Amino acid sequence: MSPVSVSTNRVVPGPQEPEEKTYHPSDGLFTDAHVPDFDAYLALYKKSTEEPEEFWADVAQEFYWKKPPSGPMLQYNFDVNKGNIYIKFMEGAKTNICYNILDRNVHERNLGEKVAYYWEGNSPDHHQNITYNQLLRNVCRCANALKLLGVKKGDRVAIYLPMIPELVYTMLACARIGAVHSIVFAGFSSESLCERIMDAQCNILVTADGVYRGDKLINLKKIASEALERCKESMASCVQKCVVVKHHAFRTNTDASNKLQVGQTVKLYGLLTVYDGFLAGKNLNRANVKFSYIQHLNGVLHTVTGYMLYTSLTFKYVFDYHHDDVYWCTADIGWITGHSYITYGPLANGATSVLFEGVPVYPHVGRLWEIIEKYGVSKFYTAPTAIRLLMKYGREPLQRYDLSSLCVLGTVGEPINPEAWLWYYDVVGQQRCPVIDTFWQTETGGHVLTPLPAATPLKPGSATCPFFGVQPAILNEHGEELEGEAEGYLVFRKPWPGIMRGVYGNQERFESTYFRKFPGFYVTGDGCRRDQDGYYWITGRIDDMLNVSGHLLSTAEVEAALTEHPSVAEAAVVSQPHAVKGECLYCFVTLKDHKEFNRTLMEELKRKVREKIGPIATPDFIQNAPGLPKTRSGKIMRRVLRQIARNEKDLGDLSTLADPKVVEVLFSQRCEAAA
């Protein structure tokens, strides 16, 4: 079955609006592309879906296997009515992901002297080149250090580190030992960190003394100490050791590092500083261990073989990777994008990447462009929210730098609005580079809908076509499959190697979140439209999730934080479009009797959410809601709240609403400006 019916003829620019045109990759840029044209894509896609065993066996051949699989490549059940949901890929195969992405590059592919990472710190004065030889050595040192601390196969290690080389060393050290890493984004609060440590029952926490994000000093050690205190209070503390990495910025700058000493309690947990001065030990053998990692939100569990093959293959094709490329993904490794496309995918290909610790506008608004020029970046991958932020500063900051090395521009995290797409294409890519809008999720492990640079005609705002092995479908509310042009729920009918294997310790949540709504399909939770050419357009989340600056947040989590405040009786949170963040939080709060809604309360509520979840979840709008629109059965009607937040007066059918007067009151008290 062909996924699309797109014309492969070049479109002659006609009188259409720019966002309605189809864009074709530039001639000459991709003379040696892995997938040179759309027909080649269709042929490979056909093979991947009609002969998946052969297709994935070919991909697997490149890797080292201690033991080949004992059964078929893929076994699964997606239908809750037929028993437990499961996905097995290359069952019985044994390997080590760390061996495949490091030792293999050094010992079998002769890439030891090649730079694996150009590390660029928050301050432009801090940078370091790390070759594959050095990376392997440091990962081994780190693995030995962790082993010395008692970490063994199957143990869970919480990693709460900023974007420094030690983050990569630690995660790969876990992979080498066969321990599970649970990386917590270093912007999360102590409470979120505690929750994640407890969820995964981590035995050890690795953090850093602190970090500068832009000009702001963040005392990670203090946050980590508070998190461990919380874990201890809950009587279920599992962390026995805490390792604190000394950040590069504080190795010589004693002033700053002194600031971090105030009120520390980490010592209570047997603090050890093992990185500095720990001597290199023996390399581990090609351990026959399995590795897995847990990615939050939701304890999404990935395992070695399928994830390794899938991130490696998507990286190669989606960025049309070649050995002389310099690739840069601006995500944080704390999120899935960083796991798949800063660490595992690029390293599996022996790529050279930029590892950036800073923020896009520090110390000046041209920082990203400066880095592209500095390292000659050819493949660049960022988020729509970053593009929209940088658009605000116009063309001038880009004109100061030579961006001619660029040839592929990627985006991920949320739907990219055509205006941002066109700016990225025109101003950053100088109409030379295809914009690769990659749709995927933590759960999918890697890209699932995406163009390929030389092959796919592009439409601004569309993630275009399925990747190899991925079979999308669109369903209506009743679970009926829609053909041709259609809009509805985006689902997948079969697994691909990178898909999640479960929710850590919670099969019930795994099944109910992703498989129960439409038996026989994996449900993404996203809405989607398919156009007349078979192109897919993501229309946004249809469950109770928000996408703020490319990060998924659950409305329930924010509501729980708000209702913890002693003055709040009830809270409901909806998303609101935001020019830079994509979506932001609009909160309705109902106060307890005799409590007053004022600015102090708003500040306290914002602080509460920041403390509980982290700064990315800070509400933009908080509205006093004397009552909330509810159905007669007491269910909050979020659709109505969303329309109030957006000032959309045409509310449609309100017959299920218990008390229609509430709506009028809420409209009259709408927040016009951000809190």
User: Among 25, 69, 162, 415, which residue sits at the site for ligand PRX (rule: CB under 6 A)?
Assistant: 415
User: Among 442, 456, 549, 555, which residue sits at the site for ligand PRX (rule: CB under 6 A)?
Assistant: 442
Smallest distance from the beta carbon of 538 to ligand PRX, in angstroms?
4
Smallest distance from the beta carbon of 527 to ligand PRX, in angstroms?
9
Smallest distance from the beta carbon of 502 to ligand PRX, in angstroms?
16
Cα–Cα distance measured from residue 432 to residue 29, given in angstroms and rounded to the nearest whole number: 8
Phi first, then psi: give them for residue 547, nearest 5 degrees: -120, 95
**Burial class of residue 335 (count of CB atoms within 10 Å of its CB; 0-12, 13-18, 19+):** buried
Cβ nearer to ligand PRX, comparing 122 with 337: 337
Q: Are strands 326-329 and 352-356 parallel, antiparallel or unpaired?
A: parallel
* Helix 304-318 and helix 52-60, axial crossing angle in degrees, nearest 10: 90
For the CA atoms of 129, 134, 136, 141, the dihedral, rounded to the nearest 10 degrees, stands at -120
* Per-residue binder mask for ligand PRX (CB under 6 A), 317-356, x = binder: -------------------xx-------------------
User: Among 390, 433, 538, 640, which residue sits at the site for ligand PRX (rule: CB under 6 A)?
Assistant: 538
User: Among 441, 506, 513, 567, which residue sits at the site for ligand PRX (rule: CB under 6 A)?
Assistant: 441
Smallest distance from the beta carbon of 551 to ligand PRX, in angstroms?
6
Smallest distance from the beta carbon of 416 to ligand PRX, in angstroms?
7
**Residue 100 in the binding site for ligand PRX (CB under 6 A):** no
Query: What is the helix (H) or strand (E) element at residue 353, kind and residue range?
Result: strand 352-356
Smallest distance from the beta carbon of 628 to ligand PRX, in angstroms?
26
C-alpha distances out from residue 534 to 6, 7, 463, 483, 487, Å:
7, 11, 11, 10, 12
**Residue 439 in the binding site for ligand PRX (CB under 6 A):** yes
Cβ nearer to ligand PRX, comparing 140 with 383: 383
Cis peptide before 363 (omega within 30 of 0): yes
> Taking contact as CB under 6 A, which single stretch among the options 11-19, 71-79, 433-441, 510-518 is the one that binds ligand PRX?
433-441
Name beta bridge partners: 522: 492
Q: Are 74 and 310 in contact (CB under 8 A)?
A: no
Q: Are 314 and 496 in contact (CB under 8 A)?
A: no
Cβ nearer to ligand PRX, comparing 575 with 643: 575
Cβ nearer to ligand PRX, comparing 248 with 316: 316
Cβ nearer to ligand PRX, comparing 3 with 413: 413
User: Among 120, 437, 559, 620, which residue sits at the site for ligand PRX (rule: CB under 6 A)?
Assistant: 437
Smallest distance from the beta carbon of 438 to ligand PRX, in angstroms?
5
Size of the site for ligand PRX (CB under 6 A): 21
Cα–Cα distance measured from residue 562 to residue 539, given in angstroms and rounded to the nearest whole number: 28
> Taking contact as CB under 6 A, which single stretch among the options 149-157, 170-178, 180-188, 406-414 is the one that binds ligand PRX?
406-414
- Residue 598 in tokens: 């004022």
User: Among 141, 388, 530, 541, which residue sits at the site for ligand PRX (rule: CB under 6 A)?
Assistant: 541
Cβ nearer to ligand PRX, comparing 120 with 414: 414
Cβ nearer to ligand PRX, comparing 353 with 442: 442
Q: Are 207 and 243 in contact (CB under 8 A)?
A: yes
The three-state secondary structure class of 331 is coil
Q: Read off the amino acid at residue 399.
A: Q
Q: Residues 6 or more apart from 256 whose CB is under 8 A from it?
A: 210, 212, 217, 249, 250
Cβ count within 10 A of residue 7 = 11
**Residue 554 in the binding site for ligand PRX (CB under 6 A):** no
* Per-residue binder mask for ligand PRX (CB under 6 A), 497-536, x = binder: ---------------------------xxx----------
Smallest distance from the beta carbon of 550 to ligand PRX, in angstroms?
6
Cβ nearer to ligand PRX, comparing 283 with 441: 441
Smallest distance from the beta carbon of 446 to ligand PRX, in angstroms?
9
**Residue 547 in the binding site for ligand PRX (CB under 6 A):** yes
Smallest distance from the beta carbon of 487 to ligand PRX, in angstroms?
14
Cβ nearer to ligand PRX, comparing 342 with 552: 552
Q: Read off the amino acid at residue 40.
A: A
Q: Which conformational region is residue 357 in: left (phi greater than 0), alpha (psi within -120 to 50 degrees), or beta?
A: alpha
Name beta bridge partners: 86: 77
- Residue 121 in tokens: 């710190």
Cα–Cα distance measured from residue 531 to residue 438, given in angstroms and rounded to the nearest whole number: 17
Q: Read off the amino acid at residue 98.
A: C
> Taking contact as CB under 6 A, which single stretch among the options 77-85, 393-401, 544-552, 573-581 is the one that binds ligand PRX?
544-552
**Residue 196 in the binding site for ligand PRX (CB under 6 A):** no
Cα–Cα distance measured from residue 110 to residue 326, given in angstroms and rounded to the nearest whole number: 18
Cβ nearer to ligand PRX, comparing 451 with 457: 451
**Residue 552 in the binding site for ligand PRX (CB under 6 A):** yes
Name beta bridge partners: 585: 575
Smallest distance from the beta carbon of 216 to ligand PRX, in angstroms?
24
Cα–Cα distance measured from residue 46 to residue 60, given in angstroms and rounded to the nearest whole number: 18
* Per-residue binder mask for ligand PRX (CB under 6 A), 462-491, x = binder: -x----------------------------
Q: Are strands 621-624 and 582-591 parallel, antiparallel or unpaired?
A: parallel
Buried b (16+ CB within 10 A) or exposed e, 144-157: bbbbebebeeebbb
Cα–Cα distance measured from residue 71 to residue 467, given in angstroms and rounded to the nearest whole number: 25
User: Among 60, 74, 287, 412, which residue sits at the site for ligand PRX (rule: CB under 6 A)?
Assistant: 412
C-alpha distances out from residue 55 to 69, 73, 179, 367, Å:
15, 10, 30, 42
Q: How far is CA 523 from the centre of its chain?
A: 18
**Residue 118 in the binding site for ligand PRX (CB under 6 A):** no
User: Among 99, 212, 380, 440, which residue sits at the site for ligand PRX (rule: CB under 6 A)?
Assistant: 440
Residues near ligand PRX (CB under 6 A): 336-337, 412-415, 437-442, 463, 524-526, 538, 541, 547, 551-552
